[in-house]
Chains A and B, each alone.
Chain A
Amino acid sequence: MTDQLLPLLGVGVVVIGFLARINPLLVIAVAAAVSGWAAHMGLVEVISAFGKAFNDSRYVSAIWLVLPVIGLLERAGLQERARTLIGRVRTATTGRLLLFYLLVRQVTAALGLTSLGGHAQMVRPLVAPMAEAAAEAKLGKISDRVRYLIRAHTAAADNIGLFFGEDIFIAIGSILLIKGFLEQEGIIVEPLQLSLWAIPTAIIAFLIHGTRLFLLDRKLAREAAKDQAKKMEGAA
């Protein structure tokens, strides 16, 4: 019995490594070695298994092919243009902008258009500069602390919109996985049933995160005021 639980040591390595803030690449390599050892795999076998898995998952890193054109457009002022554009919309605030982005991301993902967003293609070059500019239009110059908070919120809106939208689309990987797994156990479910039962959670996710974004402008104003107070203190 304990023998069966031994591979969990690899999980322990990951948890401790991440908490101790050791470089994740090293943590992952050690975790793979430990789990492999616990499962009676030899060193060559573990290295080969990891090499094969790494080679098979190269598609994960192929996304970086968008970087040359994104960098080229940044060089020509894409982020600055995104700022100007949002600055012209008087009613735009960081919270409203991100709420709108969350909605669009969720709805398009639900229609299967998951590649419409993304951190490299959409968040860094477009949405984050817009969200920052909207805050600057309302609050004046913002501190780095507030700027990072806004950027992190932009990335979060992209993730939450994607996760709780895509499962409504019938041909997405997770739905097919559920269907495939249940089918192996002799239970037939239709993808449409699965996507329908994803809708309540999608709505709740939008309500919870949307409320937070709705309140974000006030929070940013508070944080900016705190920065101001600190600055005054420093001056005095």
Chain B
Amino acid sequence: MIGLEAVYIIAGLFFVAVSILSIGDRSNKRSSGNALFWALLAASFLFGSHLSDFQNGLLVLAIVLLGGLGALDKSHPQTTTPEQRRESAARRGNALFIPALIIPAVAVFGTLVIKGISINDVPLIEAKNVTLVSLTFGALLALIVAMLWLRPPALAPLNEGRRLVDTIGWAALLPQMLASLGAVFALAHVGEAVGLIATRHMPLEDAFVVVAVYCIGMALFTAIMGNAFAAFPVMTAAIGLPLLIHKFGGDPAIVGAVGMLSGFCGTLTTPMAANFNMVPAALLELPDRDGVIKIQIPTAIPLLVCNIVLMYVLLFVM
């Protein structure tokens, strides 16, 4: 059975290569900072499953200090010039898209087809991680095709990968860090505390007000936690279930579906949803790290208002 551990080892090896190539890189004044940062991440991927929780914690602390105190800088590995790229694009034509499209194609194929394949009753790919494993396979297959076809220097993919990952820098770890913070918040019962505040001091007699408090609460709490999944159980236990479903007799399916989507409106507005909002800003080299959020807010707010009206109408008018 192929599972996450295989993906982690491949990722670990990639970060090892990034780290080694960073050593002594003259294009980057802080090359040793980069080398150490990616080496620590490589250690987490390769050995994390065998370290104790405390050891993993110390590893994260070291990563946080390096990334947080500015030990990293952008690198400039040798790559092609704009002229060479234009020439190559003209010569190779639309075939260039094929390797890029192999990645999603394999990911989708894996999710739909390989998922069902078992050998001696052992599934080929661990069921719950099938998308991630397929995505990894897609990336590797695309890489092999691209290498055979383009015949670049042997280290080119690693250097190009380093160029991109250094463009993102420490922000590459932000989604994982925030996911971890969510877990610590859960241990510290932060959700329950937010639920207490949401239910206190609120005039919860009028159905429309309750719908509004629930939907806005979902959006706000999602914005704080960066994740609607963290907000949903708390807000629904505090407001959705006792008031909308039990007291006012609302349809649970409508409360759940529209409530979750109100949370997604919050996701659009928050730096805490790093993989959707902060990482693309880094990937697209935007000078303003909130650039994506600023575009999304004018859609998120009217959509939230529509969700409130929609939930009220579906529950209590129709």
Which residues of A approach B to under 8 Å, CB–CB? 4-8, 10-11, 14-15, 18, 23-26, 28-29, 31-32, 35-36, 38-39, 41, 44, 46-82, 84-85, 112-126, 128, 148-149, 151-156, 158-160, 163-164, 167, 173-174, 177-179, 181-182, 185, 187, 189-190, 193-198, 200-201, 204-205, 208-209, 212
Contact = CB atoms under 8 A, between A and B. Distances in A.
Contacts of B104: 113, 115-118, 121-122
A31 B181 contact: yes
B86 interface: yes
B23 interface: no
Contacts of A67: 160-161, 164-165
Interface string B256-289: 1110110010011001101111111101111110
Given A62-B11, A64-B14, A204-B306, 15 more contacts: A8-B190, A11-B185, A28-B181, A51-B51, A54-B177, A57-B180, A58-B8, A65-B10, A74-B160, A77-B88, A78-B100, A81-B97, A194-B256, A201-B310, A208-B299
A122 B282 CA distance: 15
Contacts of A81: 89, 92-94, 96-97
Nearest to A168: B257
A54 B53 CA distance: 9
Contacts of A35: 184-185, 188, 190
Given A29-B61, A64-B165, A113-B108, A72 B147 contact: yes
Interface in B145-178: 146-147, 150, 152, 156-161, 163-165, 168, 170-178
B70 to A, nearest CB: 8
Contacts of B136: 62, 65
Contact of A55 (B44, B131, B157, B194): B44
B150 A44 contact: no
A48 B57 CA distance: 5
Contact of A163 (B56, B164, B268): B268
Given A49-B187, A62-B8, A76-B85, A57 B258 contact: no
Contacts of B196: 4-5
Main SS of the interface on chain B?
A: helix
Given A121-B103, A177-B232, A29 B68 contact: yes
Contacts of B280: 119, 123-124, 155, 158-159
Contacts of B57: 46-52, 54
B306 A178 contact: no
Nearest to B296: A156
Contacts of B150: 72, 76
Given A51-B58, A115-B135, A58 B190 contact: no
Nearest to B192: A4
Given A54-B176, A67-B165, A198 B299 contact: no
Contacts of A31: 181
Contacts of B175: 60-61
Interface in B233-253: 233, 236, 241, 245, 252-253
Nearest to A19: B271
Interface residues of B, number: 147
B201 interface: no
Contacts of B245: 187
Top 4 closest pairs, chain A to chain B, by CB: A71-B160, A51-B57, A77-B89, A51-B56
Contacts of B283: 119-120, 123-124
A61 B284 contact: no
Contact of A8 (B89, B173, B194, B256): B194
B50 to A, nearest CB: 10
16 contacts: A8-B197, A10-B185, A14-B181, A15-B224, A59-B7, A65-B139, A70-B160, A71-B161, A73-B100, A75-B160, A81-B93, A126-B100, A151-B286, A167-B261, A177-B260, A196-B257
Nearest to B86: A80
A197 to B, nearest CB: 4
B100 A68 contact: no
B217 interface: no
B294 interface: yes
Interface in B127-141: 129, 131-132, 134-136, 139-140
Contacts of A209: 299
A198 B132 CA distance: 25
B286 A68 contact: no
B222 to A, nearest CB: 11
Interface string B110-129: 01000000000000000001
Of A112, A113, A201, most buried by chain B (CB within 10 Å of CB) is: A201
A65 B193 contact: no
Nearest to A84: B89
A122 B108 CA distance: 14
A4 B193 CA distance: 6
A58 B183 contact: no
Nearest to B57: A51
A11 B194 contact: yes
